[in-house]
Amino acid sequence: MCGICGLASKHGAADRERLREMSATLVHRGPDSDGALVDGPVGIACRRLSIIDIQGGDQPISNEDGTVHVVQNGEIYNYLELRAELASCGHRFATRCDTEVLVHLYEELGPAFAERLRGMFAIAIWDAGRRRLVLARDRYGIKPLYYRDTSGELEFASELRALPRGEIDPDAVEAFLAFNSVPAPYSIFRETRKLPPGHVLVWEDGAVTIERYSRPAPEAASDVRNEDAEELAEELRARLRDSVRAHLIADVPVGVLLSGGVDSSLLAALAAQESGEAVHTFSIGFEERSFDELDDARSVAERYGTVHEELVVRPDAALLLPTLAETFDEPFADSSALPTYLVSELASQHVKVALSGEGADELFGGYYTYAADLLAMRVGGLAPLARPLVERLPTSTRKASLDYKAKRFVRGAGLPSLERHHAWKEIFAPDARAELTGHRSAFDPVGLLRERFQQTEGADLLARLQDVDVGTYLVDDLLVRTDRASMAHSLEARVPYLDPLVTGLAFALPTKLKVRGLRKKLLLRKAAAPLLPRRIVYGRKRGFSIPAAAWLRGDLEPFARDVLSTDTLRRQGFFEPGPVTRLIDRHVAGEEDLSRQLWGLLSFTLWHEQHVERRPGPLREPRIAEAVAV
């Protein structure tokens, strides 16, 4: 795990000082060592977090004659197999690390090398002989890669903070208000873009081409797996075991971020069985009992004899919001970033690598929205009749409250399938965005979802909607959250569910083995049943969600009103003060749960203060308030 950056110029030699400045902003991603190469028009650099071949794996790494050079952020899990294959072709290796495999694989296959990789990665290869710079991002978008291509000049980096800021993109702001994150290929700045998952970018003499090398997708409805559920559960368990075994490869201690739900608990169980030493587990809890899941996490830890650490988060921890705004170099408003940040800091005090459960919900049908999608197909036409009654339900602050779900359901149930699926998760609808910004944008963020949805015609509807989430919500929200929160503490987070062995089976499952009625993740739960307590296997969905609604009606209200003050909003010039104040008033009065909307506005405003109104630099030394640890 590392941070990488680089630049290429059509007009002359690469700027060494600029490369050094870029690398310095990424020190939190790789505090163990740094390295750089400048060769004519191209410079590449790496900040290394040493995981495999600690002594010999410093980057950049070159081939035998020094004509091909590579820097990598991530891990290649099939590097031993690739190394043996390449050695048989005559390639010589000077290290034991996975990164060295990349230069030799590139020598054999050129830019198509990425197709052979099993892992999470953002890679830059400078081919000095061909004067070609190649960038590649893993097929699931686990590792980030930003680039800026202007007038023959290319700059790239693992994080946006290493690149020039430029002008804020109004379309990105519109998308942020819809999704609470900025979706690829956009970034918050107009001239900077994200390389999409499964794509390779090639720069040659100032010209850039981008091509997709991989697109994991659901099988057509006629090709789904229809074997016996028990057989498929056994196969899934075996595939997950193989993935966890691969993700445990490291020369440093490995732990598990354990929420207490079935996804992370299954990873902890398999890791404990496959590891040759006691596994560390790390959990977050809350004083609000409806959000606290420490008891379940503790039971898994006791069952498998893990070295277990816990943290209880109290409302004053939300005052870390400015720190989160500094950590996330784009506006990012998933409130679960707060506990993810804290549990990552807790884990980083004990291990350098931690397994995390991202991807299981999207792959195996873990969200209530999927159950709602299927229900709406049968009863969606009745939603307008029920809406007046449902809208009068009192607002609850409890986790996954019935009133919140019911209101969302009746508001979206009558829409077409994709728009309905989005409506249940939408933060600000078009009318609300227009009121907030004072104008109606011609850009429709849902178009990004429609484009993805159209690519899977022929698959079951639920599989198509899951695929939309895999390519958008998972990439642009959950994986961003986990990458930035973990790397802020120099912790490598690995995601075993996002492995071709696992996704290959998940994309081939029929709907009946994923969601039936209100029951979700049917096959995954069946696979987990022999390894975990029943209450965890069949319990409600878990996760690092927080009691944001209650906090914003209580201890966090003064902070929210101060951050979203009329003076601040007018100074920044993005949101109208009147609508924002009305949102706060309605939420505090209990008229509606508007916590996701308010969290988004808080996050954007704080981000603007940190990254636009003053010059960003390396992350400050992270700290956690002693008051929130137990």
How confident is the model over 496-517, as pLDDT tens digits?
Answer: 999 999 999 999 999 999 999 9
* pLDDT level of residue 395 (50, 70, 90 thresholds): low
CB contact at 8 A, 532 and 266: yes
Residue 83 has pLDDT above 70, yes or no: yes
CB contact at 8 A, 309 and 354: no
CB contact at 8 A, 60 and 100: no
* pLDDT level of residue 393 (50, 70, 90 thresholds): low
Q: Which residue type is seen at 613?
A: E
Q: Which residue type is seen at 618?
A: P
Strand-by-strand arrangement of the 2-9 sheet: 33-39, 42-48, 2-9, 153-157, 146-150, 192-194
Within 13 A of 257's CA, how many CA atoms are on the CB side? Answer: 30
pLDDT reported for residue 543: 56
Residue 46 has pLDDT above 50, yes or no: yes
Q: What is the DSSP string of 96-127?
A: SSSHHHHHHHHHHHGGGGGGG--EEEEEEEEE
Residue 410 has pLDDT above 80, yes or no: no
Q: What is the mean pLDDT of residues 221-247?
A: 96
Residue 464 in tokens? 């198509």
pLDDT tens string 151-161 = 889 999 999 99
Of 122-131, 333-342, 579-588, the one with minimum mean pLDDT is 333-342
> In 10 A of CB 315, how many CB atoms?
20
Q: What is the mean pLDDT of residues 93-109?
A: 94
Residue 619 has pLDDT above 90, yes or no: no
Distance of CA 406 to the CA centre of its chain: 28
List the chain domain ranges: 2-212, 221-363+474-537
CB contact at 8 A, 608 and 568: no
* pLDDT level of residue 621 (50, 70, 90 thresholds): very low
Q: pLDDT above 90 covers what percent of the chain? A: 76
pLDDT tens string 449-466 = 999 999 999 999 999 999
Q: Could you say which DSSP state residue 233 is in?
A: H
pLDDT reported for residue 542: 54
Q: What is the mean pLDDT of residues 73-99?
A: 94
Its pTM stands at 0.93
CB contact at 8 A, 237 and 231: no
2 is annotated as an active-site residue: yes
pLDDT reported for residue 402: 54
Q: Could you say which DSSP state residue 278 is in?
A: P
pLDDT reported for residue 151: 86
Determine the Cα angle at 475 with ends 216 and 50, to 5°.
100
Residue 62 in tokens? 């070159």
Of 3-7, 100-104, 375-379, the one with minimum mean pLDDT is 375-379
* pLDDT level of residue 629 (50, 70, 90 thresholds): very low
pLDDT reported for residue 251: 81
Q: What is the mean pLDDT of residues 87-96?
A: 93
Of 7-11, 56-60, 499-503, 619-623, the one with minimum mean pLDDT is 619-623
Alpha carbon distance 29, 32 (integer Å): 9
Question: HEC string of 299-363?
Answer: HHHHHHCCEEEEEEECHHHHHHHHHHHHHCCCCCCCCCHHHHHHHHHHHHCCCCEEECCCCHHHH
Which strand (E) or helix (H) includes residue 539? none
Q: What is the mean pLDDT of residues 345-357?
A: 95
* pLDDT level of residue 474 (50, 70, 90 thresholds): very high
List of residues 6+ apart from 412 with CB closer than 8 A: 376, 419, 420, 421, 423, 424
Residue 313 has pLDDT above 90, yes or no: no
Which strand (E) or helix (H) includes residue 421? helix 417-423
Q: What is the mean pLDDT of residues 555-580?
A: 96
pLDDT reported for residue 615: 59
pLDDT tens string 172-228 = 999 999 999 999 999 999 999 999 999 999 999 999 999 999 999 999 988 999 999
List of residues 6+ apart from 292 with CB closer than 8 A: 285, 286, 312
pLDDT reported for residue 222: 86
* pLDDT level of residue 385 (50, 70, 90 thresholds): very low
pLDDT reported for residue 158: 98
CATH number belonging to the domain at 2-212, selected among 3.60.20.10, 3.40.50.2300, 1.10.10.60, 3.30.9.10: 3.60.20.10
For domain 221-363+474-537, the CATH class is alpha beta
Residue 539 in tokens? 């319990």
Residue 618 has pLDDT above 70, yes or no: no
pLDDT reported for residue 602: 96
pLDDT reported for residue 377: 77
Tokens 């988060």 sit on residue: 313
Residue 199 phi/psi, 5-degree rounding, is -120, 155
Q: Nearest-CA neighbor of 474 among 465, 517, 270?
A: 465
Q: Taking all residues of the chain, what is their mean pLDDT, rounded to a whole number?
A: 90
Residue 271 in tokens? 């890791």
Residue 427 phi/psi, 5-degree rounding, is -85, -65
pLDDT reported for residue 55: 66
Residue 416 has pLDDT above 50, yes or no: yes
Domains 2-212 and 221-363+474-537 share a fold: no
User: Per the residue annotation, which of 2, 5, 46, 97 is the catalytic one?
Assistant: 2
pLDDT reported for residue 624: 39
